[in-house]
């Protein structure tokens, strides 16, 4: 941060500023202020005129600072950090100087932007209900949207005096799609009779009708049409008995017309996917955890629909190969930010940092409430905002312990929007590794609450584990698998009590393979099936090699092996991860007895000869021996030998003719069948 100017404002002296700690953590270019957004605003303007990047310790007045920066074309040079609610407004504010320095330093770390996909809604809406509530909503939305009402098993409903929109009967049996592209299959579909008098009378119904629309407004009060329905864009649902919920749906639907940019949360690299090979299913981790059904098998890999993906990041967190990588931000960008955070905290004199991950929609208001109305966060708790806590994978936790963190906390809703089962498994894995390497037990916890006081109580007792002996300083760069290898290696190197290997539970994405080498024929089918190249061969000689750091325990090798000699062994063997590939089995190639060209392996050729000698008419007697010799030749020499011997493959003993019904009648003495 040597070229960056950092403004630390006391917000009208409502919080203390430890200048010495801030300078140690942020560098020498530190400017303190008391009212930067008011009487000292010219100092900010002057700093922009110098052309240097600037960090401001205020997010409340960010719109004001952005407006000034935009006037001089400097908006990309300004970064913001919140130190008031997260550090300064706290009962431990006097000791929060290192935390403030860390938050200011981390805010300057650039975060790449994620891509987007375009969603377009023309306002074609299907209002799906059972009673007059659906008709009332349709009347209110008819001026804004092109509405159609579909009534499922309706009760007696008076016919309208004017057909301002279609009213149909039917029940949705299947629904797919998203905002701007819904497809529905409808059973019991029928049109109303124009002559309906006291109530809507519908004609003959049929099944299998189809419909498309841009919006689906579900007012049936029944089961939702989609998994994780609250996260499906364009699908609005409310209980018809809840007027407030219905009113909210009307408001939301009236604004869903036009073009929208939707974030592409996950970057997918199909060539890294370990889902399937040769029709055999391997890894299904992302399929198992996706709450919205955005992931589906697609041949050897899976496909992620960015229009349906809600951005929970669970797929990226559990993907062991890096095929699914979270893009908001990428894993290496987040880890670089954590590196800056931890280094600045230590440089400013901070000790035993506890990193608190939270999201913006739920976690940030809770932390703000704690700072404004409570005792605030403890001095050693460093809040880190992410898009979703479910996006965090084991590489993040391993890196934090390597950087010197004393504990890790994640803040989630009491009633989470996303399923947290996969997150619990990831936290259990991180805790297992931390305990095995001497950092201590129960250092990674999930706090599920909507109450600021409950959050304060959960953070009140600091973790009792040990920190890294010599905190790492590695700079993360690359894909997720590279991050995993680097973070695990550094976590092991910095561990208080390192061990060579840590056994893991079944289903873990890391481990080794066991081989019954005496039964292996080096057919190398496993090499062809391995999606990560953990198993490999050589062009020089027949061999099978294994590199444990690349193995994701997908099981494709074991499922493919015709001899059934491979078993999975979930573990984290740090020595194996640091070592190059090891030779599992190696044989000398068998040399052709005619031209001496190497081909196959000796054990394979001998095994084939043993199975055929004196067991097949082609390989019996004196002629059979010469044919056995041809098996010891390469392809070219074998063809030449067969031509020279004049071998006729059809000259074998005559096969028994197939038995017919006449044969059975003849044996019984009844003679042939008569026509």
For residue 394, the enclosing domain spans 335-499
Over pLDDT 70: what percentage of the chain? 97
619 lies in the same domain as 664 = yes
Q: Is residue 527 part of a domain?
A: yes
Q: Are 542 and 601 in contact (CB under 8 A)?
A: yes
Q: CB count, 10 Å around CB of 369?
A: 15
Task: Write the DSSP string, 558-597.
Answer: HHH-TT--EEEEEEEEHHHHHS--EEEEE-PEEEPTTT--
Query: Does 300 have pLDDT greater than 80?
Result: yes
Q: Are 106 and 340 in contact (CB under 8 A)?
A: yes
Q: Are 355 and 327 in contact (CB under 8 A)?
A: no
484 lies in the same domain as 353 = yes
571 lies in the same domain as 618 = no
455 lies in the same domain as 602 = no
Q: How far is CA 617 from each of CA 40, 624, 627, 647, 655, rounded to the nearest angstrom?
A: 101, 8, 11, 13, 12
50 lies in the same domain as 198 = no
Helix, strand or coil, per DSSP, at residue 627: helix
Burial (CB < 10 A; 0-12, 13-18, 19+), residue 403, is buried
Q: Return all residues near 644 (Cβ < 8 A) that are at least 6 apart.
A: none
Joined together, the tokens standing for residue 497 give 């009590």
- Report pLDDT for 363: 97
Joined together, the tokens standing for residue 170 give 């039917």
Q: What is the mean pLDDT of residues 255-262?
A: 96
Residue 329: asked if its preceding bond is cis (omega within 30°), the reply is yes
List beta partners, residue 357.
384, 410
552 lies in the same domain as 596 = no
* H or E, element range at 7: strand 5-9
- Report pLDDT for 675: 46
Burial (CB < 10 A; 0-12, 13-18, 19+), residue 586, is middle
| End residue of a domain, out of 204, 229, 261 | 261
Q: Are 581 and 536 in contact (CB under 8 A)?
A: yes
Q: What is the mean pLDDT of residues 631-642?
A: 85
Q: Is residue 515 part of a domain?
A: yes
Q: What is the mean pLDDT of residues 470-497?
A: 93
Per-residue pLDDT band at 673 (split at 50, 70, 90): low
Q: Is residue 576 part of a domain?
A: yes
| Residue given tokens 């219905």 in the structure block | 246
Over residues 224-245, the pLDDT tens digits come to 999 999 999 999 999 999 999 9
Any idea what the CATH number is for the domain that residue 215 is in? Answer: 3.50.50
CA–CA distance, 9 with 19 (Å, rounded to integer): 11
433 lies in the same domain as 419 = yes
List beta partners, residue 129.
151
Over residues 336-366, the pLDDT tens digits come to 999 999 999 999 999 999 999 999 999 999 9
Over residues 530-573, the pLDDT tens digits come to 999 999 999 888 899 999 999 999 999 999 999 999 999 999 99
409 lies in the same domain as 300 = no
CA–CA distance, 381 with 411 (Å, rounded to integer): 12
Burial (CB < 10 A; 0-12, 13-18, 19+), residue 458, is middle
346 lies in the same domain as 452 = yes
Q: Is residue 303 part of a domain?
A: yes
Q: C-alpha angle 263/269/272, rounded to 5°?
A: 150
Closest by Cα among 310, 508, 511, 313 to 425: 508
Query: Does 622 have pLDDT greater than 80?
Result: no
Per-residue pLDDT band at 674 (split at 50, 70, 90): low
Of 146-155, 452-461, 609-618, least confident by mean pLDDT is 609-618
Q: Return all residues near 114 (Cβ < 8 A) that are at least 6 apart.
A: 263, 264, 265, 327, 328, 329
Specify the number of domains making up the chain: 6
| End residue of a domain, out of 261, 282, 314 | 261
Exposure string over 313-336, b if 16+ CB within 10 A, otherwise e: bbbbbbbbbbbbbbbbbbbbbbbb
Count of all residues that appear for the chain in the document: 675
Q: Is residue 87 part of a domain?
A: no
CA–CA distance, 448 with 455 (Å, rounded to integer): 8
481 lies in the same domain as 560 = no
Over residues 78-87, the pLDDT tens digits come to 999 999 999 9
Q: Are 409 and 458 in contact (CB under 8 A)?
A: yes
CA–CA distance, 415 with 421 (Å, rounded to integer): 13
Any idea what the CATH number is for the domain that residue 580 is in? Answer: 3.30.70.3270
Q: Are 282 and 274 in contact (CB under 8 A)?
A: yes
Q: Is residue 163 part of a domain?
A: yes
| End residue of a domain, out of 209, 242, 261 | 261
145 lies in the same domain as 7 = no
Dihedral in degrees, nearest 10, Cα atoms 362, 363, 367, 372: -10
Q: Is residue 92 part of a domain?
A: no
- Report pLDDT for 651: 60
463 lies in the same domain as 574 = no
CA–CA distance, 315 with 555 (Å, rounded to integer): 19
Q: Return all residues near 161 (Cβ < 8 A) that are at least 6 apart.
A: none
State the average pLDDT for the chain: 93
* H or E, element range at 545: strand 543-546
DSSP state for residue 280 in the 8-state scheme: E
List beta partners, residue 408.
355, 444
Residue 238 backbone class (left: φ over 0; alpha: ψ -120 to 50; beta: rest): beta
- Report pLDDT for 654: 66
Q: Is residue 26 part of a domain?
A: yes
Q: How far is CA 520 from each of CA 144, 514, 601, rounded to the nearest angstrom?
A: 70, 12, 11
Any idea what the CATH number is for the domain that residue 378 is in? Answer: 3.40.50
């Amino acid at each position: 941060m040597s070229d960056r100017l950092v403004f630390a404002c006391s917000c009208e002296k409502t919080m203390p500023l430890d200048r010495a700690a801030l300078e140690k953590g942020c560098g020498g270019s530190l400017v303190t202020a008391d009212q930067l957004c008011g009487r000292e605003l010219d100092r900010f303007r002057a700093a922009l005129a110098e052309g240097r990047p600037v960090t401001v310790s205020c997010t409340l007045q960010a719109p004001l600072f952005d407006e000034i920066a935009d006037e001089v074309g400097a908006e990309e040079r300004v970064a913001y950090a919140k130190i008031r609610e997260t550090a300064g407004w706290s009962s431990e504010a006097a000791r929060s100087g290192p935390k403030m320095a860390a938050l200011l330093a981390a805010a300057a770390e650039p975060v790449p932007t994620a891509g987007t996909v375009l969603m377009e809604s023309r306002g074609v809406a299907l209002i799906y209900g059972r009673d007059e509530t659906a008709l009332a909503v349709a009347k209110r939305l008819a001026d804004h949207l092109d509405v159609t009402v579909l009534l499922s098993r309706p009760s007696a409903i008076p016919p309208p005096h004017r057909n301002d929109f279609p009213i149909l009967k039917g029940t949705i049996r299947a629904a797919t799609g998203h905002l701007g592209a819904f497809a529905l299959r409808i059973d019991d579909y029928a049109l109303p009779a124009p002559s309906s008098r006291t109530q809507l009378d519908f004609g003959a119904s049929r099944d299998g009708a189809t419909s498309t629309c841009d919006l689906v407004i579900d007012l049936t009060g029944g089961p939702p049409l989609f998994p994780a329905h609250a996260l499906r864009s364009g699908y609005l649902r409310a209980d018809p008995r809840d007027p407030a919920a219905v009113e909210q749906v009307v408001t939301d639907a009236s604004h869903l017309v036009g073009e929208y940019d939707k974030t592409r949360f996950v970057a997918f690299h199909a060539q890294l996917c370990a889902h399937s090979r040769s029709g055999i299913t391997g890894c299904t981790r992302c399929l198992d955890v996706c709450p919205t059904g955005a992931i589906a098998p697609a041949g050897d890999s899976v496909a992620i629909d960015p229009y349906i993906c809600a951005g929970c990041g669970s797929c990226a967190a559990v993907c062991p190969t890096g095929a699914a990588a979270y893009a908001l931000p990428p894993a290496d960008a987040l880890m670089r930010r954590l590196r800056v955070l931890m280094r600045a905290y230590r440089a400013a004199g901070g000790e035993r940092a506890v990193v608190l991950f939270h999201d913006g929609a739920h976690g940030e208001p809770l932390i703000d409430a704690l700072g404004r109305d409570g005792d605030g966060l403890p001095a050693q708790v460093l809040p880190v905002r992410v898009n979703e806590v479910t996006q965090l994978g084991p590489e993040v936790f391993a890196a934090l312990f390597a950087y010197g963190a004393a504990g890790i906390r994640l803040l989630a809703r009491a009633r989470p929007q996303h399923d947290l089962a996969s997150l619990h498994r990831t936290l259990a894995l991180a805790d297992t590794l931390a305990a095995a390497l001497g950092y201590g037990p129960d250092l990674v916890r999930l706090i599920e609450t909507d109450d600021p006081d409950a959050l304060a109580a959960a953070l009140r007792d600091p973790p009792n584990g040990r920190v890294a002996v010599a905190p790492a300083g590695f700079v993360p760069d690359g894909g997720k698998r590279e991050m995993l290898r680097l973070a695990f290696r550094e976590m092991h190197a910095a561990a208080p009590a390192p061990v060579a290997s840590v056994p893991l539970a079944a289903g873990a994405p890391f481990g080794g393979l066991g081989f019954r080498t005496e039964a292996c024929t080096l057919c190398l089918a496993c090499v062809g099936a391995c999606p990560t190249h953990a198993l490999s061969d050589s062009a020089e000689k027949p061999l099978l090699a294994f590199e444990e750091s690349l193995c994701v325990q997908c099981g494709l090798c074991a499922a493919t092996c015709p001899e059934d000699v491979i078993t999975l062994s979930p573990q984290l063997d740090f020595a194996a991860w640091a070592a190059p590939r090891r030779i599992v089995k190696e044989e000398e190639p068998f040399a052709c007895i005619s031209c001496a060209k190497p081909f196959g392996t000796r054990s394979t050729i001998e095994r084939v000869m043993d199975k055929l000698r004196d067991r097949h008419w082609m390989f019996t007697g004196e002629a059979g021996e010469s044919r056995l010799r041809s098996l010891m030749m390469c392809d070219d020499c074998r063809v030449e030998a067969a031509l020279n011997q004049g071998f006729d493959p059809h000259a074998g003993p005559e096969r028994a003719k197939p038995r017919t019904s006449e044969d059975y009648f003849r044996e019984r003495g009844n003679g042939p069948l008569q026509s």
